Structure 1
């Protein structure tokens, strides 16, 4: 089952936080959360998640499809996994687990946002890295499409104004779409595509095309950097805190033992 974007699910609610609510059982806490989500009850959400819960979530907007999927999965089935004073909510046939644990104290069960921080970020990084890998494959398909049209490979992601010298160009209704969408190279400073930036690399053997991707913020939006060439094999490596500098310093596609194929 596809993972739900928990940040999008929770970011629907933006009112100031109130005192956190406790329950006799984790099942009652989980039911209250689902009721708050399904009714868009902002006050209830803040009561459930406590003060300053937004600081633990990535800065992204709501994902209505993720919310709907979560509620559908809840109806399909849900159960509580309880281990001592900690419990988790699993929903759906695939038993997707909500990354926010429920903690038992003297006052009862409550949602523990502080403990959820690492898990939420880990899942966000995982989603971004998978999206980057899929984007690399989409790039290969786009280059092949471009070659079929123009008998050369594109040297740019975005075309110059009024030209088709890149993989994306604006179209009018009825026009054949460009091989690639505009998201790979956003024009807003600091933005990326699912937490990653992309740059076309010259092929050292001059036989085809290549692409490199690196995280917008290392350790926050992603960890691994990726490369791909016309053979459609994605390679990955951890370039560390200097991922951007190292990725931009590469002059041509070239893999060494540090770059391993993505399984």
Structure 2
């Protein structure tokens, strides 16, 4: 299983800053902090990121950021903060988009900050309205692409899991959890000692650990790249083969499915994804009630309201 890595700081910084539903719903905050030059505005922003000063970021970006500074994935947020600062130290520049608009670019790849710095009434400020759609596109789009990849990796892990017996049970059964209970092998991941064979999801967890995620057996639920994952133990009438339970005689031998949903709807992602044994990934926007809808979801049942993810 390979989880594709990418430029964490460019995407995750966006998650650290702010989430907007739609640019049309926003109005520029009249109380936003202004600066004598665009360089002063950029410098204040960088200092606020370096100091983890949320209050200063709210002043700089506007009070509409107050309730949405977090993506719901603390590890991604911190990775983004650190990566942004490293990139800024390596290289930064300003791209002029006209006499009254400047974009800060960071790193050797010249990553553009989604919020332009604009001039009005002789002073400079960050324009959160103009950056809202671009911000959402970058952050949510990448998290959703990652969620699709993780769903496929977990599907592959289920196939590997079923090739061997676990916890005294014969081969042929699938894992009922993503992470095993302490001392068990009832999930796709369990801790192994040196020299022992890696668990089916071991490489995926290793990739997460290398990025700073703390995934432990018996630990609290942790979002990975802005998404949570859960195994479904039954399917409905709209799945291939019709409605059925996957668990038979206490063992999940009849199949498996996985659901992935955003840790914070609208901040870390929008779409919810499901995948079954066939490998087809379906997506659906469950709206503001995503968490409750997924909590109530007991089966894999992709009806016509679910669309194939590309």
Name 2:183's counterpart in structure 1.
Answer: 162
Which residue, 56, 67, 70 being the options, matches 1:58?
Answer: 70
CA-CA distance at 1:62 after TM superposition = 2.5
Quote how far apart the aligned CAs of 1:136 are: 0.7
Report deviation, 1:95: 5.0
Q: CA RMSD in A?
A: 4.0
Offset at residue 71 of structure 1 (A): 4.3
1:201–1:251: 8 Å Cα contact kept in structure 2? yes
What per-residue deviation string (whole Å, max 9, x for no partner) do you get for residues 128-175 of structure 1?
322322221221121122123333321222223312121111223333
CA contact (8 A) 1:157 1:184 kept: no
Retained in 2: the 8 A contact 1:155–1:200?
A: yes
Runs of 4+ displaced beyond 6 Å = 8-11, 51-54
Aligned match of 2:220 in 183, 188, 192?
188
Inter-CA distance 134–69: structure 2 relative to 1 (3 Å threshold): farther
Relative to structure 1, the CA distance from residue 196 to residue 34 in structure 2 (aligned partners, 3 Å threshold; closer, same or farther) is: closer
Matched, 1:149 2:167: no
Contact 1:22 1:110 in 2 (8 A): no
User: Which range is displaced more, 232-241 or 174-183?
Assistant: 174-183
Give the TM-score normalised by structure 1: 0.72
Matched, 1:199 2:215: no
Residue correspondence of structure 1 range 1-263 to structure 2 within 5 A: 2=7, 3-7=10-14, 21-23=35-37, 26=38, 28-29=39-40, 32=43, 50=60, 55=66, 57-58=69-70, 60=74, 61-63=77-79, 64-72=82-90, 74=91, 78-83=93-98, 85-91=100-106, 95-112=110-127, 116=131, 119-150=134-165, 151-152=171-172, 153-180=174-201, 181=205, 183=215, 187-188=219-220, 191-202=222-233, 204=235, 205=241, 208-263=255-310
Matches of 1:121 and 1:185, distance apart in 2: 33
Q: Give the TM-score normalised by structure 2.
A: 0.63
Gaps of 5+ in 2: 1-5, 19-32, 166-170, 206-213, 236-240, 247-253
Q: Where do 5+ consecutive residues of structure 1 fail to align? A: 12-18
| 1:191-238 per-position Cα deviation (integer Å, ceiling 9, x unaligned) | 533332222113534553210112233223321110112232211011
CA distance in 2, matches of 1:110, 1:134: 38
Cα pair 1:195 1:215 within 8 Å, conserved: yes
1:14 paired residue number: none
Contact 2:34–2:41 (CA<8 Å) still a contact in 1? no
1:257 is paired with a residue whose SS is coil
Higher relative contact order (CA 8 A, sep 6+): 2
Q: Secondary structure, in 3 states, of the residue corresponding to 1:141?
A: helix
Residue 214 to residue 34, structure 1, CA distance change in 2 (3 Å):
closer
Measured in 1, the distance between the counterparts of 2:47 and 2:116 equals 17
1:45-85: CA deviation from partner (whole Å, max 9, x where unpaired)? 959x738777363263422234324544x36xx45141463
